[in-house]
């Protein structure tokens, strides 16, 4: 029983993606060009992501804050790399009320400028450091194309900004946050990721260096899924974040920033979902279990309400579909919405002493005795689903991870089935550009702790400096 509103994933991946987004009511296109409406099913996933990550941030000593939405132009211009990087894609407010503004303001594309300006006012001594703040907010970048969750003018994210006494401490923070992202992707989103350093060309405008979390989608294409930047003293010099150090001398603070966005929801879809709609890992699914009564007899109703209570008492998020739609319709709806476990309860089954659990990820049906310890079985099943989803994604990633030793090998791979191509690089941006000619292949990251696989650059053949993962990207 294939969902008819969804194009086959293997036939047309891009169309399949938008079909899933719409069929599962995650987002809708809006009449505001370039912007989407995040519908309840989509926003509920974001709420779950927020809650989980927010706890991880707070456990590691971060606090939330709220900075203004608008940035006056002169404030934006203080750090030249940043404004050069973002100028082509910001929206400008030039009129407030009925008056032209003396100075135009942009809607934040990111908030390094505002945080830096604020930090310069609150830090005086090394005793005031570190400052580790984060904000959950909307940002805006004037993109030309719109793909729900992947690329839209406005999106939601979190941006952490910290300042420290020493470079060592700031660099530790940069790595700590990368590690939190990795953990979150692997343990909650069931998405295996690689982490590493961006090349100079691909790093964030204004950063000394950028660390990144990269995930491979079902079709082999890479999604940059989270970044953690080390700024050194670049912003603190531009924005005058100075403090008296332990020797009573003025020093500029060392700074970091790091962020993940609603783009992760796009990643979730493109890694796990299938031709029947959304598939969500149980740890991030807003609704983990749905009970579907097949015709509401007294016996069925009584059994269902006891079961619902029992599952809720165990801390699961459960709902019961009491609507008057047909059972088949309800099954398909639960499926398209990606609810990890569906429980079917029917009169005949109950008479035979059983009910049916259905896994969303494999669509496997499991009959269990109606008098058995259902809630323990469901909890176990959710754990299995979470683990299996991660394992399957990892297997697939390994299937499409390659090694290449020369340019034509890369061409062959990318023309066959794109994926992560490990290949050596000399460090010359020209070679990076040359790779781009292969269907837009870009460096994803420099792998820092893996052994070199060759001693020559995959493009020019000169001595290699770095082992790099290459892929095309969203």
Question: Which spans of this chain sit near its own copies (rule: CB under 8 A)?
Answer: 28, 30-33, 35-40, 43-44, 46-47, 63-72, 75, 87-98, 104-105, 107, 114, 117-118, 121-122, 133, 137-138, 140, 142, 153-154, 156
Q: State the sign of the Cα–Cα–Cα–Cα dihedral 148, 154, 156, 161.
A: positive
Which one, 13 or 142, has the nearer CB to its own copies? 142
Q: How far is the CB of 63 from its own copies (least distance, A)?
A: 4
Which one, 107 or 374, has the nearer CB to its own copies? 107
Q: How far is the CB of 16 from its own copies (least distance, A)?
A: 22
Which one, 274 or 321, has the nearer CB to its own copies? 321
Which one, 89 or 403, has the nearer CB to its own copies? 89
Q: How far is the CB of 162 from its own copies (least distance, A)?
A: 13
Which one, 53 or 105, has the nearer CB to its own copies? 105
Q: How far is the CB of 8 from its own copies (least distance, A)?
A: 26
Q: Is the peptide bond before 175 cis (omega within 30 degrees of 0)?
A: no
Q: Are 282 and 381 in contact (CB under 8 A)?
A: no
Which one, 63 or 372, has the nearer CB to its own copies? 63
Question: What span, in angstroms and rounded, lies between the C-alpha atoms of 122 and 277?
Answer: 49
Position of tokens 């407010």?
A: 93
Q: How far is the CB of 378 from its own copies (least distance, A)?
A: 23
Which one, 64 or 305, has the nearer CB to its own copies? 64
Q: How far is the CB of 201 from its own copies (least distance, A)?
A: 21
Which one, 39 or 275, has the nearer CB to its own copies? 39
Position of tokens 């494999």?
A: 362
Q: Are 195 and 215 in contact (CB under 8 A)?
A: no
Q: Which of 294, 305, 309 is nearest to 351 (CA)?
A: 294
Strands 341-346, 289-294: parallel, antiparallel or unpaired by DSSP?
parallel
Q: How far is the CB of 472 from its own copies (least distance, A)?
A: 24
**DSSP state letter for 417:** -
Q: Are 242 and 251 in contact (CB under 8 A)?
A: yes
**Secondary structure class of 444 (helix, strand, coil):** strand
Q: How far is the CB of 287 from its own copies (least distance, A)?
A: 12
Written as one string, the DSSP assignment of 260-302 is EETHHHHHHHHHH-BTTB----TTT-S--EEEEEES--HHHHH
CA atoms within 13 A on the CB side of 77: 6
User: Quick count: other Cβ atoms within 10 Å of Cβ 373?
Assistant: 12
Q: Are 293 and 302 in contact (CB under 8 A)?
A: no
Question: What span, in angstroms and rounded, lies between the C-alpha atoms of 7 and 244?
Answer: 62
Q: Give the pair of three-digit tokens for residue 473.
A: 């990207």
Residue 111 gets the label, from left (phi > 0), alpha (psi -120 to 50) or beta, of alpha
Q: Exposed, middle or buried: residue 318 (CB in 10 Å: 0-12, 13-18, 19+)? A: buried
Q: How far is the CB of 271 from its own copies (least distance, A)?
A: 23
Q: How far is the CB of 421 from its own copies (least distance, A)?
A: 33
Q: How far is the CB of 279 from its own copies (least distance, A)?
A: 21
**Secondary structure class of 59 (helix, strand, coil):** helix
Degrees, nearest 5: CA angle 100-101-103: 145
Which one, 31 or 449, has the nearer CB to its own copies? 31
Which one, 37 or 433, has the nearer CB to its own copies? 37
**DSSP state letter for 19:** H
Question: What span, in angstroms and rounded, lies between the C-alpha atoms of 346 and 120?
Answer: 66
Which one, 65 or 368, has the nearer CB to its own copies? 65
Q: Exposed, middle or buried: residue 112 (CB in 10 Å: 0-12, 13-18, 19+)? A: buried
């Amino acid at each position: 029983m294939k969902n008819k509103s969804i194009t086959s994933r293997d036939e047309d991946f891009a169309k399949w993606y938008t079909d899933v987004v719409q069929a599962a009511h995650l987002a809708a296109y809006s009449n505001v060009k370039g912007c989407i409406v995040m519908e309840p099913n989509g926003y509920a996933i974001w709420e779950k992501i927020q809650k989980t990550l927010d706890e991880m941030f707070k456990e590691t000593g971060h606090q939330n804050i709220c900075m203004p939405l608008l940035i006056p132009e002169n404030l934006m211009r203080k750090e030249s790399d940043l404004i050069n990087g973002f100028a082509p894609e910001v929206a400008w407010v030039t009129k407030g009320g009925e008056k032209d503004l003396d100075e135009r303001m942009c809607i934040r594309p990111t908030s390094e400028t505002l945080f830096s300006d604020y930090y310069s006012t609150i830090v005086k001594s090394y005793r005031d450091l570190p400052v580790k703040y984060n904000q959950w907010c909307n940002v805006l970048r004037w993109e030309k194309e719109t793909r729900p969750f992947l690329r839209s003018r406005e999106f939601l994210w979190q941006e952490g900004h910290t300042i420290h006494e020493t470079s060592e401490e700031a660099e530790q923070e940069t790595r700590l946050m990368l590690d939190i992202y990795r953990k979150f992707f692997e343990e909650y989103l069931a998405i295996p990721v690689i982490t590493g350093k961006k090349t100079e060309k691909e790093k964030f405008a204004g950063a000394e260096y950028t660390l990144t979390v990269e995930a491979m989608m079902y079709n082999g294409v890479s999604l940059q899924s989270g970044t953690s930047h080390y700024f050194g003293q670049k912003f603190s010099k531009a924005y005058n974040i100075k403090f008296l150090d332990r020797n009573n001398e003025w020093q500029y603070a060392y700074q970091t920033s790091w962020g993940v966005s609603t783009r992760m929801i796009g990643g979730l879809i493109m890694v796990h979902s299938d031709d029947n709609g959304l598939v969500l890992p149980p740890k991030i699914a807003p609704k983990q279990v749905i009970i579907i009564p097949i015709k509401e007899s007294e016996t069925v109703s009584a059994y269902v309400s006891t079961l619902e209570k029992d599952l809720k008492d165990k801390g699961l998020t459960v709902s019961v579909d009491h609507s008057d739609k047909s059972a088949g319709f309800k099954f398909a709806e639960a499926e398209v919405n990606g609810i990890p476990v569906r429980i079917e309860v029917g009169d005949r089954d109950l008479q035979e002493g059983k009910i049916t659990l259905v896994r969303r990820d494999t669509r496997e049906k499991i009959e269990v005795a109606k008098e058995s310890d259902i809630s323990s079985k469901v909890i176990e099943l959710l754990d299995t689903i979470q683990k299996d989803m991660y394992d399957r994604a990892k297997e697939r990633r390994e299937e499409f991870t390659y090694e290449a030793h020369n340019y034509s090998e890369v061409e062959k791979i990318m023309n066959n089935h794109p994926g992560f191509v490990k290949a050596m690089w000399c460090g010359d941006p020209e070679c990076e550009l040359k790779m781009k000619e292969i269907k837009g292949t870009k460096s994803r990251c420099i792998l820092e702790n893996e052994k070199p696989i060759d001693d020559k650059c995959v493009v020019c053949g000169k001595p290699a400096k770095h082992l790099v993962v290459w892929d095309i990207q969203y």
